[in-house]
A = this chain, B = another copy of it.
Amino acid sequence: MSCKYLYYFTEGNKAFKGDMITMKNILGGKGAGLAEMTAAGMPVPQGFTITTGACTQYYTDGRQINDEIQKDIFEHMKGLEKITGKTFGDNRNPLLVSVRSGARQSMPGMMDTILNLGLNDEAVEGLAKKTNNPRFAYDSYRRFVQMFADVVMGVSKSLFEDEIDKMKAEKGYKSDIDLTAEDLKKLVAVFKKIYEDNEHKPFPQDPKVQLIEAVKAVFRSWDNPRANVYRKMNEIPYEWGTAVNVQQMAFGNSGNNSGTGVAFTRNPATGEKKLFGEYLINAQGEDVVAGVRTPSPISHLKDQMPAVYDQFTDIATKLENHFKDMQDMEFTIEDGHLYMLQTRNGKRTATAALKIACDLVDEGMIDKEEAVLRVEPHQLDALLHPQFDPDALKKAEVIGRGLAASPGAACGKVVFSAEDAKAWKKNGEKVVLVRLETSPEDIEGMQSAEGILTVRGGMTSHAAVVARGMGTCCVSGCGEITVDYDKKQFTLGGKAYKEGDYISIDGSTGNIYGEALPTVPASITGNFGRFMEWADKVRTLKVYTNADRPKDAQQASDFGAEGIGLCRTEHMFFEGNRIKAMREMIVAENVEDRKKALAKILPYQQGDFEGLFEIMGERPVTIRFLDPPLHEFLPTKENDIKDLADDLHITVEKLKDVIASLHEFNPMMGHRGCRLTVTYPEIAEMQTTAVINAAINVTKKTGKKIVPQIMIPLVGEAKELKFVKDTVVKTADKIIKDSGMDLKYEVGTMIEIPRAALTAGKIAKEADFFCYGTNDLTQMTFGFSRDDAGKFLDSYYENKIYESDPFVHLDTEGVGRLVKMSSEEGKAANPQLHLGICGEHGGDPSSIEFCHNSGLDYVSCSPFRVPIARLAAAQAAIKENRAKAKA
């Protein structure tokens, strides 16, 4: 099969025997659809598909179509001539074809198409005679020259458009429709001249040359910049390549009994079961896109061409029944005859996706598991956040664009510091916090803001990660903004926005608006709950959440979180008086002073934990002990240092010495995580005390058995974990013994350092659980810091060295190998060990599938990712079950 590069539409259904997945992989989505429709006896202009394998071969051969494939193409053209009774390049009855891309997954508008191919100076005359319609023939020819020049040769479209405009002006025409056959004939001559001037050779008259060049152009368009961007966004591997469909032309532009259109079997916005679409009379596909004329709703066709309409609705129903999904179809009507040009599963909104999935189950078309597979997990996100009013959005001007870092819509007055955000919020103002970048000290301000806009930082920058965790809208990395903190204003697109000015940001698109836009709450329909129930039924992976605060825990719980997989305690050190005590601890010169300062933090921490335990009840709450290097808690600005020194009653010099002594060359790989406990066991003692006291109190208060999970970060060696664990156990057991209560707790570790994964067998003997911290594990395994990688990763994407951000999608080859190895060896050494993941990947569907397949017990993600993770986990389970059933 691998050496067969071409398939007639008539061959596909037999060759792949209904295995749609393989068929799509080889023929592309469009080719597969055409083959299926052909087999079902539907009116399809015939043709053949050049496979995705031929595209790969084209790239392997250094962007050349090799002789074997060229020969094959021409043989298939001969065959097509037989089928159609027309002849390629003939001057009486010429065979004209379209040449269109068609990848495995549809990439609408991303790649190139050439229509009317086969026309030359002789064939155009033949077409004119045969159709008795010279205007149509020359219109087709001028379209072809223009499209070929643009798509195949890269000659600017505007050169041609300008000539049409010039002629229209000369003649006083209003519309292209006014151009006569003679006008169009002249235009063809002018167009060919333009082509020749630009290409230094005449417009190719040989249809074979036209065809090969067109196929090459489509292959090439697989690698054009917008396709690359789309692919990266949609996680479509570069290796796949595109198929090419060569298909006899059906002419929607041959008169008023012709036309072209697009329709969906159900409404793609709402999911309503009703044909939805539009069409244009006397037009080719590109006219619909160009928007020169306004298309009519598909329902009008019923009156205009009732027979065609009935035939089309009949076909639409059959196609939906055949593919058991909502179809997105292209059709052309030529002289009253309907031709189907394409059918594919239609793209739809989240709301529509849920409704269609539920309806299809109710209609008995698919079962519940199949329904669960039908909704893209990422799509659910749109249902969880407020959105801008679509009507307001239509009129609003986008003033800039950043990364869609945390979804949702936010509108508020601009402020430039975390303190201001807090203060303004207190005064009842809604604010958007604008920062060069955020830091842990900004947490409270970030909580006070409706949305966060940053100049620097990517999808995993501090702002992005924290905002997603909070469910707050965030647009990050809008590099076009210049911020002037002193003047309290920022400039974007040449305009200045001052403190107090309204802006709106859309965290789902990255768009920035220089005005106040109204928002509407997301509508969660009844289908959502029903659908998630089906998902939960089949899912085996548990879904926990990363939550540091009761508010977040409650949100996650509402979204169905089954536990807390990661509570980062460092956030708890930044607020109000805590940061002061924390700083006292850091400058303390001996254990006693450190303990004194820690004692001040204890009641706060304990209170925080009690809040979490009360919400989560008997569900596991995993508390990670202090992780960041201590210098993160100290100020960096001269003024703040002075204030702090005064506060702590020490000299500025002394404080600066402390800060200098904490300086690290590579803080990521510095004195942090459990390394802090090894040097200052009293920190772990305080945190253990807070956890255990809180568990005891909440158990007493609620009667629920709280079983806290204590998680030690950054472990790289079994003895290290043992050392820290000994400290924890000694402290905990004493408190429990004194309390007279029978409290259970677990001590586990993050696996986030390669060495931990490599020595997991030993570490597992000291651990109740492993939780993969795949953010750090990815950094260490790749050897690049996510804060710095932005500078060079773009070059990596451009050169296809990496195709996706390893901080978004777990790298299964490298990082994943460590995860697999260590979970197997960990389980072997300690069968009681439970395994989870709590990096950003815990909310990424493809990574969740990997976690399911690697035998992990749970994933933990930010609250707003919980429903997504539940669905992704369900899909992974279904896929695995199906693969097993097949094997």
In the bound complex, do residue B665 and residue A720 qualify as a contact, i.e. CB atoms below 8 Å apart?
no
- How many residues on A have C-beta within 8 angstroms of the other chain's C-beta atoms? 48
Quote the shortest CB–CB distance from A884 to chain B (angstroms). Answer: 28
Cross-interface CB contact of A800 among B719, B788, B789, cutoff 8 Å: B719
In the bound complex, do residue A723 and residue B801 qualify as a contact, i.e. CB atoms below 8 Å apart?
yes
A799 to B714, CA, bound (A): 17
In the bound complex, do residue B753 and residue A669 qualify as a contact, i.e. CB atoms below 8 Å apart?
no
In the bound complex, do residue A678 and residue B788 qualify as a contact, i.e. CB atoms below 8 Å apart?
no
Residues of B within 8 Å of A787, CB to CB, are 664-666
Interface membership of A785, Cβ < 8 A? yes
Could you tell me which residues of chain A, from 793 to 852, have a CB within 8 Å of some CB in chain B?
795-796, 799-802, 811, 813-815, 817-818
Cβ proximity bits A754-767 to B, threshold 8 Å, 1 near / 0 not: 11001100000000
Find the B residue at minimum CB distance from A678: B795
In the bound complex, do residue B758 and residue A720 qualify as a contact, i.e. CB atoms below 8 Å apart?
no
A428 to B671, CA, bound (A): 44
How many copies of this chain sit in the oligomeric assembly?
2
Interface membership of A670, Cβ < 8 A? yes
Find the B residue at minimum CB distance from A791: B671
In the bound complex, do residue B779 and residue A754 qualify as a contact, i.e. CB atoms below 8 Å apart?
no
A781 to B679, CA, bound (A): 21
Cβ proximity bits A736-757 to B, threshold 8 Å, 1 near / 0 not: 0000000000000000111100
Cross-interface CB contact of A780 among B671, B679, B780, cutoff 8 Å: B780
Interface membership of A675, Cβ < 8 A? yes
Interface membership of A529, Cβ < 8 A? no
Residues of B within 8 Å of A717, CB to CB, are 801-802, 814
In the bound complex, do residue B783 and residue A755 qualify as a contact, i.e. CB atoms below 8 Å apart?
yes
Could you tell me which residues of chain A, from 246 to 266, have a CB within 8 Å of some CB in chain B?
none
Residues of B within 8 Å of A714, CB to CB, are 783
In the bound complex, do residue B755 and residue A664 qualify as a contact, i.e. CB atoms below 8 Å apart?
no
Q: Of residues A779, A788, A815, which shows the largest number of chain B Cβ atoms within 10 Å of its Cβ?
A: A788
Cross-interface CB contact of A669 among B720, B783, B800, cutoff 8 Å: B783
Interface membership of A94, Cβ < 8 A? no
In the bound complex, do residue A801 and residue B720 qualify as a contact, i.e. CB atoms below 8 Å apart?
yes
Residues of B within 8 Å of A753, CB to CB, are 781-783
Interface membership of A784, Cβ < 8 A? yes
In the bound complex, do residue A666 and residue B785 qualify as a contact, i.e. CB atoms below 8 Å apart?
yes
Quote the shortest CB–CB distance from A485 to chain B (angstroms). Answer: 15
Find the B residue at minimum CB distance from A668: B666
Find the B residue at minimum CB distance from A676: B792
Could you tell me which residues of chain A, from 766 to 783, have a CB within 8 Å of some CB in chain B?
776, 779-783
Find the B residue at minimum CB distance from A714: B783
Interface membership of A716, Cβ < 8 A? yes
Given contacts A792-B675, A799-B723, A801-B678, is CB(A670)–CB(B758) below 8 Å? no
In the bound complex, do residue B754 and residue A678 qualify as a contact, i.e. CB atoms below 8 Å apart?
no
A787 to B664, CA, bound (A): 8
Cross-interface CB contact of A666 among B667, B675, B678, B758, cutoff 8 Å: B667
Given contacts A714-B783, A776-B783, is CB(A679)–CB(B754) below 8 Å? no
Quote the shortest CB–CB distance from A797 to chain B (angstroms). Answer: 11
Cross-interface CB contact of A784 among B670, B802, B813, cutoff 8 Å: B670
Cβ proximity bits A648-673 to B, threshold 8 Å, 1 near / 0 not: 00000000000000001111111100
Given contacts A800-B719, A814-B716, is CB(A788)–CB(B755) below 8 Å? no
Quote the shortest CB–CB distance from A405 to chain B (angstroms). Answer: 18
Quote the shortest CB–CB distance from A715 to chain B (angstroms). Answer: 10
A759 to B806, CA, bound (A): 15
Cross-interface CB contact of A754 among B675, B720, B781, B800, cutoff 8 Å: B781
A679 to B779, CA, bound (A): 20
Find the B residue at minimum CB distance from A629: B788
Quote the shortest CB–CB distance from A864 to chain B (angstroms). Answer: 27
Cβ proximity bits A339-367 to B, threshold 8 Å, 1 near / 0 not: 00000000000000000000000000000
Quote the shortest CB–CB distance from A239 to chain B (angstroms). Answer: 11
Q: Of residues A714, A720, A781, which shows the largest number of chain B Cβ atoms within 10 Å of its Cβ?
A: A781
A432 to B723, CA, bound (A): 43
A678 to B717, CA, bound (A): 35
Quote the shortest CB–CB distance from A260 to chain B (angstroms). Answer: 42
A109 to B755, CA, bound (A): 37
In the bound complex, do residue B667 and residue A783 qualify as a contact, i.e. CB atoms below 8 Å apart?
no
A818 to B781, CA, bound (A): 11
In the bound complex, do residue B754 and residue A788 qualify as a contact, i.e. CB atoms below 8 Å apart?
no
In the bound complex, do residue A801 and residue B719 qualify as a contact, i.e. CB atoms below 8 Å apart?
yes
Residues of B within 8 Å of A679, CB to CB, are 791-792, 795
A801 to B723, CA, bound (A): 8
In the bound complex, do residue A792 and residue B678 qualify as a contact, i.e. CB atoms below 8 Å apart?
yes
Residues of B within 8 Å of A671, CB to CB, are 788, 791-792
In the bound complex, do residue B754 and residue A814 qualify as a contact, i.e. CB atoms below 8 Å apart?
yes
Residues of B within 8 Å of A784, CB to CB, are 669-670, 675, 716
A463 to B792, CA, bound (A): 30
Residues of B within 8 Å of A666, CB to CB, are 666-669, 785, 787-788
A800 to B719, CA, bound (A): 8
A802 to B668, CA, bound (A): 20
Cross-interface CB contact of A668 among B669, B792, B801, B817, cutoff 8 Å: B669
Q: Of residues A670, A752, A755, A815, which shows the largest number of chain B Cβ atoms within 10 Å of its Cβ?
A: A755
Give 11 A-B pairs besides A669-B785, A755-B781, A759-B813 with Cβ atoms closer than 8 angstroms: A664-B785, A668-B669, A669-B788, A675-B784, A678-B792, A678-B796, A679-B795, A716-B784, A719-B801, A753-B783, A754-B818
What are 14 A-B interface contacts by the 8 Å CB criterion?
A664-B785, A665-B785, A665-B788, A675-B792, A717-B814, A720-B801, A723-B799, A723-B801, A752-B783, A754-B783, A758-B817, A758-B818, A759-B814, A780-B780
Q: Which 4 A-B pairs have the closest CB atoms?
A: A755-B814, A753-B783, A666-B785, A669-B785
